[in-house]
Amino acid sequence: MEEKRILVVYFSGSGVTRQLGQAIAKTLGCPSEEIVPVGKPSSDAKQLEIQPLKNDPSQFDVVILGTPVWGMRPSPPAQVFLMRHAGRLPALAFFCSFGLFGGGSTVKELTRLAGKSPIADLAVQRTRVQRGQYQDKLKQFIDKIG
């Protein structure tokens, strides 16, 4: 059986989601790319542009999208990524980092924006990522992706 081609794509404001995304990519041995906003950051996804990725997400079997939680929702750059690539994305998995809460609502909103359910999702509290206390959750997430 052929190995799945997986791409990890994430936006990170403070570096916590980047740390989680890079850990996922390293564990899976796959490429990762950071979503980079163009110009002045905006909290309104409709007013935000992002730089094109080096890799075409539609050329992968699975795209793993990561975002910090902003106001109980995905960050605007992650929303723009999904809006830009809607309908052309393969199987999806989502991960997010959050302060006190908002992981569940963020995954629900990512699912709505993508128009399909993820094959796996992972929500980890920011302090657990910073302390490296997320390995069990990471393993469960990776196992679901296959």
Average model confidence (pLDDT) across the chain: 90
Question: For residue 21, what are the CA distances in angstroms to 13, 44, 123?
Answer: 13, 24, 12
pLDDT for 139 equals: 95
| pTM, rounded to two decimals | 0.93
pLDDT band at 59 (very low <50, low <70, confident <90, very high): very high
Q: What is the pLDDT of residues 30-40, one digit of tens each?
A: 999 999 999 77
| Nearest in space to 123 (alpha carbons), one of 53, 72, 54 | 72
Question: For residue 59, what are the CA distances in angstroms to 5, 87, 88, 124?
Answer: 8, 13, 9, 28
Q: What is the pLDDT of residues 8-26, one digit of tens each?
A: 999 998 899 999 999 999 9
Could you tell me the residue ranges of all domains in the chain?
Answer: 6-35+47-145
CATH class of 6-35+47-145: alpha beta
pLDDT band at 42 (very low <50, low <70, confident <90, very high): low
Q: What is the pLDDT of residues 63-102, one digit of tens each?
A: 999 999 987 889 999 999 999 898 889 999 999 998 877 7
Average pLDDT of the segment spanning 47-68: 93
pLDDT for 1 equals: 47
CA–CA distance, 128 with 16 (Å, rounded to integer): 10
Average pLDDT of the segment spanning 28-55: 86
Phi, psi angle pair for 76, to nearest 5°: -55, -40
Q: CB atoms < 10 A from the CB of 3, how many?
A: 9
* Residue 80 identity (one-letter amino acid): V
Average pLDDT of the segment spanning 132-136: 90
Predicted confidence (pLDDT) at residue 2 exceeds the cutoff of 70: no
* Residue 63 identity (one-letter amino acid): V
**How buried is 53 (Cβ within 10 angstroms: 0-12 exposed, 13-18 middle, 19+ buried)?**
middle
**Residue 74 structure tokens:** 């995905």
